Amino acid sequence: MNALIVLAHPEPTSFNAALKDVAAATLRCLGHEVEVSDLYAEGFDPVEAPAHYTPRHDGHRFAPLAEQRHAAEAGCLPGEVQREIDRLQRADLVILQFPLWWHAQPAMLKGWFDRVFVSGGLYSSRMRYDRGYFRGKRALLSMTSGAPAGAFGPGARGGDIDTLLWPLHYSLHYMGFSLLPPFCAHGIQGHGYAYREESEFLSMLETYKADLAQRLVNLEETAPLIFPGWDDWDAEGQAKMRLTG
């Protein structure tokens, strides 16, 4: 199997980077090939903008999706976008490793969605969801958060993990990926801001690393999350009425 780990953290010695290393080592130990997109280290530009497109489809008015479709058809996608697409095409498993900032992925990773999942080339009105370009591939969100695990849940202070990850999960589902249950490491704070004693905090980090490795060892026995697909919608896209009797 080929795996791609997309890392979005500005600090090379961060716990996110450590989890990326654990995932890579575990997958390699299991005999898989591993590639890493280190978005910060590689200087990925997450801002979708006119300057990325040469030649322009429309030099007067910048319509992002029209430019994406044109560049995909003409074979002139921006270099770093094409590089990410090539990596995704080689991968059977994609892991997104990121810290939860403001109930979502950092701008760096949000822009990876905005720019890499190109209209036309990788999706269309007919090629999406369970008919998506990347169907047959699996994706796993691996996130860290600063709040303690006990602060999350429906109606809880930190919010519900399923709700806050819904936009990421559904976007990956849109692209055809099967979603594995997310891996969440909570209570991850910079040094000096931990809720706990330092030794207890460091021990928690080791436990999370072991948990992530175990998750990857058990990958084949892990059922994917369920999202609605074409059979669930009527012609307008609304959920079909389910007859119960």
Kindly tell me which of 11 and 200 has the beta carbon lying closer to a second copy. Answer: 11
Fill in the DSSP letter of residue 242.
P
Query: CA nearest 153: which of 175, 132, 184?
Result: 184
Closest CB 20 distance from a second copy, rounded Å: 16
CB 81 within 8 A of CB 47: no
For residue 173, which amino acid is it?
A: H
Using CB under 8 A, list all residues that contact a second copy. Answer: 10-11, 13-14, 40, 46-50, 61-66, 101-108, 110-111, 113-114, 117, 129, 146-148, 150-151, 153-159, 163-164, 166-168, 170-171, 174, 189-193, 228, 232-233, 236-239
What is residue 212's three-state secondary structure?
A: helix
Closest CB 28 distance from a second copy, rounded Å: 26
Fill in the DSSP letter of residue 141.
E
Kindly tell me which of 55 and 242 has the beta carbon lying closer to a second copy. Answer: 242
Kindly tell me which of 202 and 210 has the beta carbon lying closer to a second copy. Answer: 202
DSSP bridge partners of 95: 5, 140
Kindly tell me which of 62 and 82 has the beta carbon lying closer to a second copy. Answer: 62
Closest CB 92 distance from a second copy, rounded Å: 22
Closest CB 153 distance from a second copy, rounded Å: 6
Note the helical H segments in the chain: 15-29, 64-74, 79-90, 107-116, 161-164, 166-174, 198-217
Kindly tell me which of 35 and 130 has the beta carbon lying closer to a second copy. Answer: 130
Report d(CA 230, CA 105) in Å as an integer: 27
Report d(CA 64, CA 114) in Å as an integer: 9
176 burial type by CB count under 10 A (0-12 exposed, 13-18 middle, 19+ buried): buried
Closest CB 7 distance from a second copy, rounded Å: 14
Query: CA nearest 8: which of 34, 39, 36, 35?
Result: 39
Kindly tell me which of 223 and 239 has the beta carbon lying closer to a second copy. Answer: 239
Closest CB 33 distance from a second copy, rounded Å: 27
